[in-house]
């Protein structure tokens, strides 16, 4: 009897600690906060963006416009892809757009991202903006006025230039 009790409490303890973390894994990793390093880690290690889909209607290494790369590859998280394809009209909270900016010779120069975080910055479409150089060096991050200012031109397309989101 006593042994059984001990076994039971051990099982309870184990389920308390093990189950919640396995649920978190089953769900994919949990989303990062608005910390540039945490976001980079998420995009390169926990949910590597290069395994995601390309922005609907785009190909790898399409020709970009100033101020971004000469050649561009743009990835979207699965929820963003779905929202675009089903014409939701607005991209989801927790969604990502990750853009690789290449130099004319095909060398990767920088990664620029938009990450939608509910309530983060209503004046800027609730997008968290970041620009990373090689090895994850943070060149810009947060409610960047420069990014917000230019992308405001396409506010009606949820602040996205590359293609229609509805
Ligand atoms: C002067 C205008 C301008 C500024 C400033 C700017 N962008 Fe962009 N951005 C564009 C254009 C135009 C595109 C469309 C892709 C292309 O052809 O370059 C784009 C595309 C993007 C995309 C792909 C999704 C989309 O909107 O098409 C991301 C992500 C992005 N920019 C992030 C950023 C970040 C982060 C910053 C600030 C560090 C920034 N941008 C600053 C003009 C700008």
Which residue, 157, 155, 143, 149, is CA-closest to 55? Answer: 157
- Of 67, 68, 156, best ligand 1 pocket probe by most atoms within 8 Å of the beta carbon: 68
Give the pLDDT score at 72. Answer: 97
Residue of the CA atom closest to atom 24 of ligand 1: 160
Ligand 1, atom 29: nearest CA belongs to which residue?
113
Alpha-carbon distance 95 to 91, whole Å?
7
Euclidean distance between CA atoms 146 and 151, whole angstroms: 9
In order along its 166 residues, the chain shows pLDDT tens digits of 455 666 656 555 555 555 544 444 444 569 999 999 999 999 999 999 999 999 999 999 999 977 888 999 999 999 999 999 999 999 999 999 999 999 999 999 999 999 999 999 999 999 999 999 999 999 999 999 999 999 999 999 999 999 999 8
pLDDT for 147 equals: 97
Phi-psi region of 36 (alpha: psi -120 to 50; beta: other; left: phi over 0): alpha
Among 104, 149, 151, 156, name the best residue to mutate to test ligand 1's pocket (greatest count of ligand atoms within 8 A of Cβ). 151
Q: Report d(CA 78, CA 103) in Å as an integer.
A: 27
- For residue 130, the tally of other CB atoms under 10 A from its CB is 24
Phi-psi region of 96 (alpha: psi -120 to 50; beta: other; left: phi over 0): beta
């Amino acid at each position: 009897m006593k042994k059984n009790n001990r076994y039971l409490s051990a099982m309870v303890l184990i389920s308390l600690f093990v189950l919640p973390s396995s649920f978190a894994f089953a769900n994919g990793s949990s989303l990062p906060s608005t910390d540039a390093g945490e976001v980079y880690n998420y995009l390169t290690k926990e949910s590597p963006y290069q395994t995601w889909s390309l922005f609907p209607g785009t190909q790898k290494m399409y020709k970009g416009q100033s101020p971004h790369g000469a050649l561009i590859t743009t990835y979207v998280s699965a929820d963003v892809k779905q929202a675009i394809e089903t014409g939701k009209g607005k991209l989801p909270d927790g969604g990502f757009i990750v853009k690789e900016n290449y130099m004319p010779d095909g060398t990767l120069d920088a990664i620029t991202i938009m990450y939608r975080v509910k309530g983060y910055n209503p004046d800027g479409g609730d997008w968290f903006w970041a620009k990373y150089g090689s090895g994850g060096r943070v060149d810009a991050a947060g409610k960047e006025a420069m990014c917000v200012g230019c992308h405001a031109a396409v506010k009606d397309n949820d602040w996205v230039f590359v293609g229609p989101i509805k």
